[in-house]
Structure 1
Amino acid sequence: MDTLLLIKAALMGIVEGLTEFLPISSTGHLILAGSLLDFADGKAKVFDIAIQTGAIFAVILVYWQRLRDTAVGFGSSVQARRFVLNVAIGFLPAVVLGLLLGKAIKAHLFTPTIVASTFIIGGFIILWAERRPAATVRLDTVDEMTPMDALKVGLVQCLAMVPGTSRSGATIIGGMLLGLSRKAATDFSFFLAIPTLIGAGLYSLYKERALLSTADIPMFAVGLLFSFLSAWICVRWLLRYIASHSFVPFAYYRIVFGVVVLLTSYMGWVTWAD
Protein backbone atom coordinates (compact mmCIF):
# COMPACT_ATOMS: atom_id res chain seq x y z
CA MET A 1 0.00 0.00 0.00
CA ASP A 2 1.23 3.46 -0.95
CA THR A 3 2.46 5.28 2.19
CA LEU A 4 1.38 8.64 0.78
CA LEU A 5 -2.13 7.29 0.26
CA LEU A 6 -2.28 6.15 3.89
CA ILE A 7 -1.15 9.62 5.04
CA LYS A 8 -3.92 11.18 2.94
CA ALA A 9 -6.40 8.72 4.45
CA ALA A 10 -5.29 9.66 7.96
CA LEU A 11 -5.59 13.39 7.21
CA MET A 12 -9.05 12.92 5.71
CA GLY A 13 -10.05 10.87 8.75
CA ILE A 14 -8.93 13.66 11.07
CA VAL A 15 -10.86 16.23 9.03
CA GLU A 16 -13.98 14.05 9.17
CA GLY A 17 -13.77 13.42 12.91
CA LEU A 18 -13.12 17.05 13.83
CA THR A 19 -15.90 18.47 11.64
CA GLU A 20 -18.68 15.86 11.62
CA PHE A 21 -20.39 17.02 14.79
CA LEU A 22 -19.61 20.73 14.63
CA PRO A 23 -21.97 23.02 12.69
CA ILE A 24 -19.36 23.61 9.99
CA SER A 25 -20.02 20.78 7.49
CA SER A 26 -17.80 17.72 7.43
CA THR A 27 -18.74 17.03 3.81
CA GLY A 28 -17.72 20.53 2.82
CA HIS A 29 -14.36 20.21 4.55
CA LEU A 30 -13.77 16.78 3.01
CA ILE A 31 -14.50 18.11 -0.47
CA LEU A 32 -12.12 21.01 0.00
CA ALA A 33 -9.45 18.87 1.69
CA GLY A 34 -9.80 16.28 -1.06
CA SER A 35 -9.29 18.98 -3.66
CA LEU A 36 -6.06 20.13 -2.01
CA LEU A 37 -4.77 16.59 -1.42
CA ASP A 38 -5.71 15.36 -4.90
CA PHE A 39 -7.95 12.80 -3.23
CA ALA A 40 -11.24 13.26 -5.02
CA ASP A 41 -11.86 10.39 -7.45
CA GLY A 42 -14.83 8.00 -7.30
CA LYS A 43 -13.20 5.76 -4.72
CA ALA A 44 -12.32 8.75 -2.54
CA LYS A 45 -15.96 9.83 -2.48
CA VAL A 46 -16.97 6.39 -1.19
CA PHE A 47 -14.17 6.66 1.37
CA ASP A 48 -15.46 10.06 2.56
CA ILE A 49 -18.88 8.58 3.34
CA ALA A 50 -17.61 5.31 4.79
CA ILE A 51 -15.29 6.90 7.36
CA GLN A 52 -18.27 8.69 8.90
CA THR A 53 -18.90 5.34 10.60
CA GLY A 54 -15.69 5.82 12.59
CA ALA A 55 -16.99 9.15 13.87
CA ILE A 56 -20.28 7.50 14.85
CA PHE A 57 -18.50 4.93 17.01
CA ALA A 58 -17.16 7.88 18.99
CA VAL A 59 -20.74 9.06 19.65
CA ILE A 60 -21.75 5.55 20.67
CA LEU A 61 -18.86 5.45 23.12
CA VAL A 62 -19.63 8.88 24.63
CA TYR A 63 -23.36 8.10 24.97
CA TRP A 64 -22.89 4.43 25.80
CA GLN A 65 -24.70 4.57 29.15
CA ARG A 66 -27.78 6.23 27.65
CA LEU A 67 -27.85 3.85 24.70
CA ARG A 68 -27.39 0.83 26.97
CA ASP A 69 -30.16 1.95 29.33
CA THR A 70 -32.48 2.48 26.35
CA ALA A 71 -31.78 -1.00 24.98
CA VAL A 72 -32.22 -2.68 28.38
CA GLY A 73 -35.38 -0.74 29.21
CA PHE A 74 -37.00 -0.89 25.79
CA GLY A 75 -39.45 -3.60 26.79
CA SER A 76 -40.58 -1.98 30.04
CA SER A 77 -39.94 1.77 29.75
CA VAL A 78 -42.30 4.08 27.89
CA GLN A 79 -39.56 6.70 27.82
CA ALA A 80 -37.11 4.30 26.17
CA ARG A 81 -39.62 3.29 23.51
CA ARG A 82 -40.53 6.92 22.79
CA PHE A 83 -36.85 7.78 22.46
CA VAL A 84 -36.27 5.01 19.90
CA LEU A 85 -39.45 5.99 18.02
CA ASN A 86 -38.37 9.63 17.85
CA VAL A 87 -34.94 8.72 16.46
CA ALA A 88 -36.57 6.42 13.88
CA ILE A 89 -39.03 9.13 12.83
CA GLY A 90 -36.25 11.70 12.59
CA PHE A 91 -34.19 9.30 10.47
CA LEU A 92 -36.96 8.47 7.96
CA PRO A 93 -36.99 11.69 5.86
CA ALA A 94 -33.27 11.38 5.13
CA VAL A 95 -33.81 7.82 3.87
CA VAL A 96 -36.65 8.77 1.54
CA LEU A 97 -35.13 11.95 0.12
CA GLY A 98 -31.66 10.45 0.02
CA LEU A 99 -32.83 7.63 -2.22
CA LEU A 100 -34.84 10.01 -4.42
CA LEU A 101 -32.38 12.87 -4.77
CA GLY A 102 -28.96 11.58 -3.67
CA LYS A 103 -27.65 10.76 -7.13
CA ALA A 104 -28.64 14.11 -8.64
CA ILE A 105 -27.17 16.05 -5.72
CA LYS A 106 -23.84 14.24 -5.95
CA ALA A 107 -23.69 14.84 -9.69
CA HIS A 108 -24.37 18.58 -9.60
CA LEU A 109 -23.77 20.08 -6.15
CA PHE A 110 -20.54 18.55 -4.86
CA THR A 111 -18.28 21.43 -5.90
CA PRO A 112 -16.07 23.76 -3.82
CA THR A 113 -17.95 26.86 -5.04
CA ILE A 114 -21.31 25.57 -3.85
CA VAL A 115 -19.74 24.41 -0.58
CA ALA A 116 -18.29 27.89 0.02
CA SER A 117 -21.63 29.56 -0.72
CA THR A 118 -23.56 27.32 1.66
CA PHE A 119 -20.86 27.88 4.29
CA ILE A 120 -21.60 31.60 4.19
CA ILE A 121 -25.38 31.26 4.12
CA GLY A 122 -25.29 28.78 7.00
CA GLY A 123 -23.13 31.15 9.03
CA PHE A 124 -25.70 33.93 8.81
CA ILE A 125 -28.48 31.51 9.75
CA ILE A 126 -26.56 30.50 12.89
CA LEU A 127 -26.10 34.16 13.85
CA TRP A 128 -29.82 34.73 13.43
CA ALA A 129 -30.74 31.64 15.45
CA GLU A 130 -28.42 32.52 18.31
CA ARG A 131 -29.80 36.05 18.63
CA ARG A 132 -33.36 34.94 19.27
CA PRO A 133 -34.79 35.49 22.78
CA ALA A 134 -34.11 32.64 25.22
CA ALA A 135 -37.85 32.52 25.99
CA THR A 136 -38.45 30.69 22.73
CA VAL A 137 -36.99 27.50 24.28
CA ARG A 138 -39.81 25.09 25.14
CA LEU A 139 -37.97 21.75 25.42
CA ASP A 140 -34.98 21.36 27.72
CA THR A 141 -34.21 17.66 27.13
CA VAL A 142 -34.49 15.04 24.40
CA ASP A 143 -36.97 13.10 26.52
CA GLU A 144 -39.50 15.95 26.25
CA MET A 145 -39.62 15.69 22.44
CA THR A 146 -42.77 14.45 20.70
CA PRO A 147 -42.82 12.44 17.46
CA MET A 148 -43.81 15.63 15.64
CA ASP A 149 -40.74 17.42 17.04
CA ALA A 150 -38.58 14.53 15.82
CA LEU A 151 -40.17 14.62 12.36
CA LYS A 152 -39.53 18.36 12.04
CA VAL A 153 -35.87 17.95 12.99
CA GLY A 154 -35.62 15.03 10.56
CA LEU A 155 -36.97 17.17 7.75
CA VAL A 156 -34.49 19.94 8.60
CA GLN A 157 -31.70 17.35 8.52
CA CYS A 158 -32.47 16.79 4.84
CA LEU A 159 -31.16 20.28 4.09
CA ALA A 160 -27.72 18.85 4.79
CA MET A 161 -27.95 16.87 1.56
CA VAL A 162 -26.66 20.09 -0.02
CA PRO A 163 -22.89 19.92 0.68
CA GLY A 164 -21.56 22.65 2.91
CA THR A 165 -24.83 22.96 4.83
CA SER A 166 -23.71 20.66 7.67
CA ARG A 167 -25.85 17.82 8.99
CA SER A 168 -25.00 18.75 12.57
CA GLY A 169 -25.57 22.42 11.85
CA ALA A 170 -28.96 21.76 10.25
CA THR A 171 -30.21 19.54 13.06
CA ILE A 172 -28.79 21.57 15.95
CA ILE A 173 -29.74 25.02 14.68
CA GLY A 174 -32.97 23.68 13.19
CA GLY A 175 -33.81 22.09 16.54
CA MET A 176 -33.13 25.35 18.33
CA LEU A 177 -35.39 27.24 15.92
CA LEU A 178 -38.10 24.64 16.62
CA GLY A 179 -37.88 25.30 20.36
CA LEU A 180 -35.29 22.83 21.65
CA SER A 181 -32.63 24.02 24.07
CA ARG A 182 -29.06 24.09 22.77
CA LYS A 183 -28.26 20.95 24.81
CA ALA A 184 -31.38 19.05 23.67
CA ALA A 185 -30.80 19.98 20.03
CA THR A 186 -27.16 18.87 20.22
CA ASP A 187 -28.00 15.58 21.95
CA PHE A 188 -30.72 14.72 19.44
CA SER A 189 -28.39 15.63 16.57
CA PHE A 190 -25.87 13.11 17.91
CA PHE A 191 -28.49 10.38 18.40
CA LEU A 192 -29.95 11.00 14.95
CA ALA A 193 -26.47 10.74 13.44
CA ILE A 194 -26.12 7.10 14.51
CA PRO A 195 -28.62 5.52 12.06
CA THR A 196 -28.16 8.28 9.46
CA LEU A 197 -24.40 8.01 9.03
CA ILE A 198 -24.12 4.25 9.54
CA GLY A 199 -26.89 3.76 6.97
CA ALA A 200 -25.25 6.15 4.50
CA GLY A 201 -21.87 4.48 4.93
CA LEU A 202 -23.16 0.94 4.42
CA TYR A 203 -25.34 1.95 1.48
CA SER A 204 -22.44 3.74 -0.23
CA LEU A 205 -20.12 0.76 0.25
CA TYR A 206 -22.72 -1.62 -1.17
CA LYS A 207 -23.66 0.61 -4.09
CA GLU A 208 -20.07 1.32 -5.13
CA ARG A 209 -18.63 -2.10 -4.25
CA ALA A 210 -17.38 -2.55 -7.82
CA LEU A 211 -14.86 0.25 -7.24
CA LEU A 212 -13.36 -1.43 -4.20
CA SER A 213 -10.99 -4.34 -3.60
CA THR A 214 -9.24 -5.98 -0.66
CA ALA A 215 -6.22 -3.78 -1.40
CA ASP A 216 -8.29 -0.81 -0.19
CA ILE A 217 -8.77 -2.24 3.32
CA PRO A 218 -5.69 -0.52 4.86
CA MET A 219 -6.77 2.85 3.46
CA PHE A 220 -10.28 2.51 4.88
CA ALA A 221 -8.98 1.16 8.20
CA VAL A 222 -6.66 4.14 8.66
CA GLY A 223 -9.42 6.58 7.78
CA LEU A 224 -11.87 4.93 10.20
CA LEU A 225 -9.34 4.88 13.03
CA PHE A 226 -8.36 8.54 12.74
CA SER A 227 -11.98 9.55 12.24
CA PHE A 228 -12.95 7.74 15.45
CA LEU A 229 -10.13 9.22 17.54
CA SER A 230 -10.59 12.80 16.39
CA ALA A 231 -14.40 12.60 16.68
CA TRP A 232 -14.16 11.21 20.22
CA ILE A 233 -12.06 14.20 21.26
CA CYS A 234 -14.36 16.62 19.43
CA VAL A 235 -17.65 15.28 20.83
CA ARG A 236 -16.40 15.36 24.42
CA TRP A 237 -15.15 18.91 23.92
CA LEU A 238 -18.37 20.09 22.26
CA LEU A 239 -20.59 18.80 25.08
CA ARG A 240 -18.53 20.82 27.55
CA TYR A 241 -18.43 23.84 25.27
CA ILE A 242 -22.20 24.21 24.77
CA ALA A 243 -22.78 24.25 28.53
CA SER A 244 -21.61 27.86 28.62
CA HIS A 245 -21.06 29.03 25.03
CA SER A 246 -23.08 29.73 21.90
CA PHE A 247 -22.43 28.66 18.30
CA VAL A 248 -21.64 32.22 17.19
CA PRO A 249 -17.86 31.56 16.72
CA PHE A 250 -18.72 28.73 14.32
CA ALA A 251 -20.94 31.13 12.35
CA TYR A 252 -18.08 33.58 11.86
CA TYR A 253 -15.74 30.72 10.96
CA ARG A 254 -18.17 29.55 8.27
CA ILE A 255 -18.51 33.03 6.80
CA VAL A 256 -14.77 33.78 6.75
CA PHE A 257 -13.85 30.34 5.42
CA GLY A 258 -16.45 30.55 2.66
CA VAL A 259 -15.27 34.00 1.60
CA VAL A 260 -11.64 32.82 1.51
CA VAL A 261 -12.53 29.92 -0.77
CA LEU A 262 -14.56 32.11 -3.12
CA LEU A 263 -11.89 34.83 -3.21
CA THR A 264 -8.94 32.52 -3.82
CA SER A 265 -10.89 30.67 -6.49
CA TYR A 266 -11.98 33.89 -8.26
CA MET A 267 -8.47 35.37 -8.14
CA GLY A 268 -6.89 32.15 -9.34
CA TRP A 269 -4.65 31.86 -6.29
CA VAL A 270 -5.89 28.35 -5.49
CA THR A 271 -7.39 25.81 -7.87
CA TRP A 272 -10.34 24.31 -6.02
CA ALA A 273 -10.93 21.37 -8.36
CA ASP A 274 -14.59 20.57 -9.01
Structure 2
Amino acid sequence: MSLWEAILLAIVEGITEFLPISSTGHMILTAALAQMKADDFFKTYIVAIQLGAIFSVVVLYWKRFFQSIAFYIKLLVGFIPAVLVGALLKKHIDTLLERVDVVAFALLGGGIILLFVDKWFAKNEKNTELQEISYQTAFWIGCFQCLAMVPGVSRSAATIVGGLTQGLNRRTSAEFSFFLALPTMFAATAKSIWDTKEIFIEQAQKSWLTLLVGNSIAFVVALLAIKFFIGYLTKYGFRLFGWYRIVVGLLILILLWAGVKLEML
Protein backbone atom coordinates (compact mmCIF):
# COMPACT_ATOMS: atom_id res chain seq x y z
CA MET A 1 0.00 0.00 0.00
CA SER A 2 1.38 3.39 -0.96
CA LEU A 3 1.26 6.38 1.38
CA TRP A 4 -1.33 8.06 -0.85
CA GLU A 5 -3.59 5.00 -0.67
CA ALA A 6 -3.22 5.01 3.11
CA ILE A 7 -4.15 8.69 3.27
CA LEU A 8 -7.18 8.15 0.99
CA LEU A 9 -8.49 5.29 3.12
CA ALA A 10 -7.98 7.29 6.33
CA ILE A 11 -9.97 10.18 4.88
CA VAL A 12 -12.79 7.84 3.83
CA GLU A 13 -12.80 6.21 7.28
CA GLY A 14 -12.91 9.56 9.05
CA ILE A 15 -15.77 10.88 6.92
CA THR A 16 -17.97 7.79 6.90
CA GLU A 17 -17.55 6.18 10.33
CA PHE A 18 -20.01 8.44 12.15
CA LEU A 19 -22.22 9.52 9.26
CA PRO A 20 -25.28 7.35 8.43
CA ILE A 21 -23.83 6.24 5.08
CA SER A 22 -21.93 2.99 5.87
CA SER A 23 -18.16 3.03 6.21
CA THR A 24 -18.04 -0.58 4.96
CA GLY A 25 -19.67 0.29 1.64
CA HIS A 26 -17.33 3.20 1.10
CA MET A 27 -14.22 1.21 1.94
CA ILE A 28 -15.25 -1.43 -0.61
CA LEU A 29 -15.85 1.21 -3.28
CA THR A 30 -12.63 3.07 -2.51
CA ALA A 31 -10.50 -0.08 -2.64
CA ALA A 32 -12.12 -1.21 -5.89
CA LEU A 33 -12.02 2.10 -7.73
CA ALA A 34 -8.43 2.79 -6.64
CA GLN A 35 -7.51 -0.83 -7.47
CA MET A 36 -5.93 -1.42 -4.08
CA LYS A 37 -4.55 -4.83 -3.22
CA ALA A 38 -6.30 -6.36 -0.21
CA ASP A 39 -3.17 -7.92 1.33
CA ASP A 40 -2.40 -8.51 5.02
CA PHE A 41 -1.29 -4.94 5.66
CA PHE A 42 -4.39 -3.54 3.95
CA LYS A 43 -6.62 -5.56 6.30
CA THR A 44 -4.50 -4.56 9.31
CA TYR A 45 -4.61 -0.92 8.31
CA ILE A 46 -8.38 -0.55 7.90
CA VAL A 47 -8.88 -2.07 11.36
CA ALA A 48 -6.19 0.06 13.01
CA ILE A 49 -7.37 3.44 11.70
CA GLN A 50 -10.73 2.94 13.40
CA LEU A 51 -8.92 3.74 16.66
CA GLY A 52 -8.17 7.24 15.38
CA ALA A 53 -11.83 7.76 14.52
CA ILE A 54 -12.93 6.50 17.95
CA PHE A 55 -10.56 8.89 19.72
CA SER A 56 -12.15 11.87 17.93
CA VAL A 57 -15.36 11.35 19.94
CA VAL A 58 -13.45 11.42 23.23
CA VAL A 59 -11.64 14.64 22.28
CA LEU A 60 -14.69 16.41 20.82
CA TYR A 61 -16.92 15.56 23.78
CA TRP A 62 -14.31 15.33 26.51
CA LYS A 63 -16.16 17.74 28.83
CA ARG A 64 -19.28 15.59 28.60
CA PHE A 65 -17.44 12.29 28.43
CA PHE A 66 -16.72 12.30 32.16
CA GLN A 67 -20.25 12.03 33.45
CA SER A 68 -22.01 10.09 36.18
CA ILE A 69 -21.54 6.37 36.69
CA ALA A 70 -25.18 5.99 35.68
CA PHE A 71 -24.40 7.33 32.18
CA TYR A 72 -21.65 4.74 31.68
CA ILE A 73 -24.01 2.01 32.84
CA LYS A 74 -26.50 3.21 30.21
CA LEU A 75 -23.79 2.87 27.56
CA LEU A 76 -23.13 -0.65 28.84
CA VAL A 77 -26.85 -1.44 28.65
CA GLY A 78 -26.87 -0.18 25.05
CA PHE A 79 -23.76 -2.22 24.25
CA ILE A 80 -25.03 -5.56 25.63
CA PRO A 81 -27.55 -6.40 22.83
CA ALA A 82 -24.78 -6.26 20.20
CA VAL A 83 -22.62 -8.60 22.28
CA LEU A 84 -25.42 -11.13 22.71
CA VAL A 85 -26.64 -11.03 19.10
CA GLY A 86 -23.07 -11.14 17.81
CA ALA A 87 -22.33 -14.25 19.87
CA LEU A 88 -25.58 -16.04 18.98
CA LEU A 89 -25.61 -15.26 15.26
CA LYS A 90 -21.89 -15.20 14.52
CA LYS A 91 -22.04 -17.78 11.69
CA HIS A 92 -24.89 -15.98 9.93
CA ILE A 93 -23.18 -12.60 10.35
CA ASP A 94 -19.92 -14.00 8.95
CA THR A 95 -21.85 -15.22 5.89
CA LEU A 96 -23.32 -11.77 5.31
CA LEU A 97 -19.86 -10.22 5.63
CA GLU A 98 -18.85 -12.07 2.46
CA ARG A 99 -21.66 -10.56 0.36
CA VAL A 100 -21.01 -7.27 -1.42
CA ASP A 101 -24.52 -7.37 -2.88
CA VAL A 102 -25.90 -7.35 0.68
CA VAL A 103 -24.01 -4.10 1.28
CA ALA A 104 -25.52 -2.56 -1.85
CA PHE A 105 -29.10 -3.55 -1.00
CA ALA A 106 -28.66 -2.45 2.63
CA LEU A 107 -27.45 0.94 1.42
CA LEU A 108 -30.46 1.22 -0.88
CA GLY A 109 -32.99 0.11 1.72
CA GLY A 110 -31.51 2.31 4.41
CA GLY A 111 -31.39 5.24 2.02
CA ILE A 112 -35.08 4.93 1.24
CA ILE A 113 -35.89 4.83 4.97
CA LEU A 114 -33.81 7.96 5.62
CA LEU A 115 -35.84 9.85 3.01
CA PHE A 116 -38.90 9.59 5.26
CA VAL A 117 -37.43 9.42 8.79
CA ASP A 118 -37.74 13.17 9.47
CA LYS A 119 -41.44 13.16 8.64
CA TRP A 120 -42.16 9.96 10.58
CA PHE A 121 -40.71 11.18 13.87
CA ALA A 122 -41.17 14.96 13.66
CA LYS A 123 -44.11 14.95 16.11
CA ASN A 124 -42.46 12.39 18.38
CA GLU A 125 -39.29 14.36 19.22
CA LYS A 126 -38.76 15.63 22.76
CA ASN A 127 -36.03 17.94 24.03
CA THR A 128 -34.41 15.19 26.06
CA GLU A 129 -30.84 15.88 27.16
CA LEU A 130 -28.13 13.25 26.90
CA GLN A 131 -27.97 12.64 30.65
CA GLU A 132 -31.76 12.23 30.80
CA ILE A 133 -31.81 9.15 28.57
CA SER A 134 -33.35 6.24 30.46
CA TYR A 135 -31.95 2.72 30.78
CA GLN A 136 -34.88 1.43 28.74
CA THR A 137 -34.16 3.90 25.93
CA ALA A 138 -30.47 2.96 25.98
CA PHE A 139 -31.41 -0.71 25.68
CA TRP A 140 -33.73 -0.16 22.71
CA ILE A 141 -31.12 1.93 20.92
CA GLY A 142 -28.70 -0.94 21.54
CA CYS A 143 -31.19 -3.32 19.93
CA PHE A 144 -31.30 -1.09 16.84
CA GLN A 145 -27.50 -1.14 16.80
CA CYS A 146 -27.68 -4.89 16.16
CA LEU A 147 -29.14 -4.12 12.72
CA ALA A 148 -25.74 -2.74 11.77
CA MET A 149 -24.33 -6.27 11.87
CA VAL A 150 -25.76 -6.49 8.38
CA PRO A 151 -22.99 -4.83 6.35
CA GLY A 152 -24.12 -1.64 4.67
CA VAL A 153 -26.79 -0.74 7.22
CA SER A 154 -24.51 1.73 9.08
CA ARG A 155 -24.16 1.64 12.85
CA SER A 156 -24.69 5.39 13.02
CA ALA A 157 -27.90 5.28 10.98
CA ALA A 158 -29.34 2.37 12.98
CA THR A 159 -28.66 3.87 16.41
CA ILE A 160 -29.80 7.40 15.53
CA VAL A 161 -33.07 6.10 14.08
CA GLY A 162 -33.36 3.92 17.18
CA GLY A 163 -33.11 7.02 19.32
CA LEU A 164 -35.80 8.77 17.28
CA THR A 165 -38.19 5.85 17.83
CA GLN A 166 -37.75 6.47 21.57
CA GLY A 167 -38.71 10.12 21.32
CA LEU A 168 -35.23 11.65 21.34
CA ASN A 169 -34.53 14.63 19.12
CA ARG A 170 -32.05 14.30 16.27
CA ARG A 171 -29.15 15.98 18.06
CA THR A 172 -29.43 13.89 21.25
CA SER A 173 -29.90 10.70 19.20
CA ALA A 174 -26.74 11.45 17.22
CA GLU A 175 -24.69 12.31 20.30
CA PHE A 176 -25.75 9.15 22.14
CA SER A 177 -24.87 7.21 18.97
CA PHE A 178 -21.36 8.69 19.08
CA PHE A 179 -20.90 7.76 22.74
CA LEU A 180 -22.28 4.26 22.17
CA ALA A 181 -19.74 3.88 19.36
CA LEU A 182 -16.90 3.99 21.89
CA PRO A 183 -17.44 0.60 23.58
CA THR A 184 -18.89 -0.96 20.42
CA MET A 185 -16.16 0.05 18.00
CA PHE A 186 -13.38 -0.42 20.53
CA ALA A 187 -14.55 -3.97 21.28
CA ALA A 188 -14.93 -4.81 17.58
CA THR A 189 -11.52 -3.34 16.75
CA ALA A 190 -9.84 -5.07 19.70
CA LYS A 191 -11.38 -8.41 18.68
CA SER A 192 -10.20 -8.01 15.07
CA ILE A 193 -6.69 -7.19 16.27
CA TRP A 194 -6.69 -10.12 18.70
CA ASP A 195 -7.91 -12.58 16.07
CA THR A 196 -5.03 -11.60 13.78
CA LYS A 197 -2.56 -10.51 16.47
CA GLU A 198 0.52 -12.19 14.96
CA ILE A 199 -0.05 -10.63 11.52
CA PHE A 200 -1.07 -7.32 13.11
CA ILE A 201 2.07 -7.07 15.24
CA GLU A 202 4.29 -8.01 12.31
CA GLN A 203 2.68 -5.44 10.01
CA ALA A 204 2.63 -2.74 12.70
CA GLN A 205 6.36 -3.15 13.33
CA LYS A 206 7.16 -2.81 9.63
CA SER A 207 4.76 0.03 8.82
CA TRP A 208 4.25 1.90 12.09
CA LEU A 209 4.72 5.30 10.43
CA THR A 210 1.93 4.62 7.92
CA LEU A 211 -0.35 3.48 10.75
CA LEU A 212 0.48 6.62 12.73
CA VAL A 213 -0.25 8.89 9.76
CA GLY A 214 -3.47 7.02 8.98
CA ASN A 215 -4.78 7.21 12.55
CA SER A 216 -3.91 10.90 12.76
CA ILE A 217 -5.77 11.69 9.54
CA ALA A 218 -8.76 9.52 10.49
CA PHE A 219 -8.90 11.33 13.85
CA VAL A 220 -8.88 14.85 12.37
CA VAL A 221 -11.30 14.05 9.54
CA ALA A 222 -13.72 12.21 11.87
CA LEU A 223 -13.68 15.16 14.25
CA LEU A 224 -14.60 17.55 11.42
CA ALA A 225 -17.20 15.12 10.06
CA ILE A 226 -18.94 14.85 13.44
CA LYS A 227 -19.08 18.64 13.79
CA PHE A 228 -20.52 18.99 10.29
CA PHE A 229 -23.00 16.16 10.79
CA ILE A 230 -24.44 17.49 14.05
CA GLY A 231 -24.95 20.96 12.57
CA TYR A 232 -26.43 19.69 9.31
CA LEU A 233 -28.64 17.05 10.93
CA THR A 234 -30.12 19.52 13.41
CA LYS A 235 -31.04 21.99 10.65
CA TYR A 236 -31.89 19.82 7.66
CA GLY A 237 -32.41 16.21 8.74
CA PHE A 238 -31.59 12.95 6.94
CA ARG A 239 -32.90 13.41 3.42
CA LEU A 240 -29.55 14.25 1.79
CA PHE A 241 -27.93 11.19 3.37
CA GLY A 242 -30.82 9.04 2.16
CA TRP A 243 -30.32 10.09 -1.46
CA TYR A 244 -26.57 9.70 -1.12
CA ARG A 245 -26.94 6.12 0.17
CA ILE A 246 -29.22 5.27 -2.75
CA VAL A 247 -26.65 6.57 -5.25
CA VAL A 248 -23.79 4.62 -3.62
CA GLY A 249 -25.88 1.44 -3.43
CA LEU A 250 -26.82 1.71 -7.10
CA LEU A 251 -23.18 2.37 -8.02
CA ILE A 252 -22.07 -0.82 -6.28
CA LEU A 253 -24.79 -2.83 -8.06
CA ILE A 254 -23.79 -1.34 -11.42
CA LEU A 255 -20.13 -2.24 -10.81
CA LEU A 256 -21.14 -5.80 -9.84
CA TRP A 257 -23.33 -6.07 -12.95
CA ALA A 258 -20.42 -4.80 -15.08
CA GLY A 259 -18.19 -7.56 -13.72
CA VAL A 260 -15.95 -5.38 -11.57
CA LYS A 261 -14.46 -7.45 -8.77
CA LEU A 262 -15.53 -6.03 -5.40
CA GLU A 263 -14.31 -7.75 -2.25
CA MET A 264 -15.48 -7.50 1.34
CA LEU A 265 -12.77 -6.16 3.63
TM over 0.5, shorter chain: yes
Distance 1:143 1:135, change over 3 A: same
Counterpart residue identity of residue 9, structure 2? M
Number of the residue aligned with 1:226:
217
Deviations 1:123-167 (A, max 9, x none): 111123222152212452222211111011011101111111101
Matched, 1:239 2:227: no
1:168 paired residue number: 156
Q: Does 1:30 align with 2:27?
A: yes
TM-score where L is the length of structure 2: 0.90
Q: Aligned residue for 1:59?
A: 57
Aligned counterpart in structure 2 of residue 203 of structure 1, from 182, 191, 200? 191
Quote the residue 2:70 is aligned against: 82
CA distance in 2, matches of 1:258, 1:176: 24
**What is the alpha-carbon distance in structure 2 between the residues aligned to residue 215 and residue 30 of structure 1?**
23
Of the structure 1 ranges 107-116 and 175-184, higher mean CA displacement relative to structure 2 is found in: 107-116
Residue correspondence of structure 1 range 1-274 to structure 2 within 5 A: 4-36=1-33, 37-68=35-66, 70=67, 80-102=68-90, 104-138=92-126, 140-212=128-200, 213=202, 214-268=205-259, 270-273=260-263
Partner SS, residue 123 of structure 2? helix
What is the CA-CA distance between 1:220 and the residue it aligns to? 2.2
Unpaired segments ≥5 residues, structure 1: 71-79
State the alpha-carbon separation in 2 of the partners of residues 106 and 44 from structure 1.
Answer: 19
Q: 1:99 to 1:31 in 2, by over 3 A?
A: farther
User: Alpha-carbon deviations, 1:188-244, whole Å to 9, x = none?
Assistant: 001101111112112211111122201132332222111111101111111222231
User: 1:10 and 1:107, CA in 2 relative to 1: closer, same or farther beyond 3 A?
Assistant: farther
Q: State the secondary structure of the residue aligned to 2:235.
A: coil
Number of positions where the alignment pairs a residue of Structure 1 with one of Structure 2: 260
Alignment partners' CA distance in 2, 1:5 and 1:226: 15
Counterpart amino acid of residue 36 in structure 2: D
Unmatched 5+ stretches in structure 2: none
C-alpha displacement of 1:272: 2.5
Change (3 A) 1:209 1:265: same
Q: Report the alpha carbon displacement of residue 41 of structure 1 after superposing the two structures with TM.
A: 3.7
1:202 and 1:153 mapped to 2: Cα distance? 22
Q: Indicate conservation of the 8 Å contact 1:49/1:204, yes or no.
A: yes
Offset of residue 103 of structure 1: 5.7
- 1:76 is aligned to none
Cα distance, 1:186 vs. partner?
0.3
TM-score (norm 1): 0.87
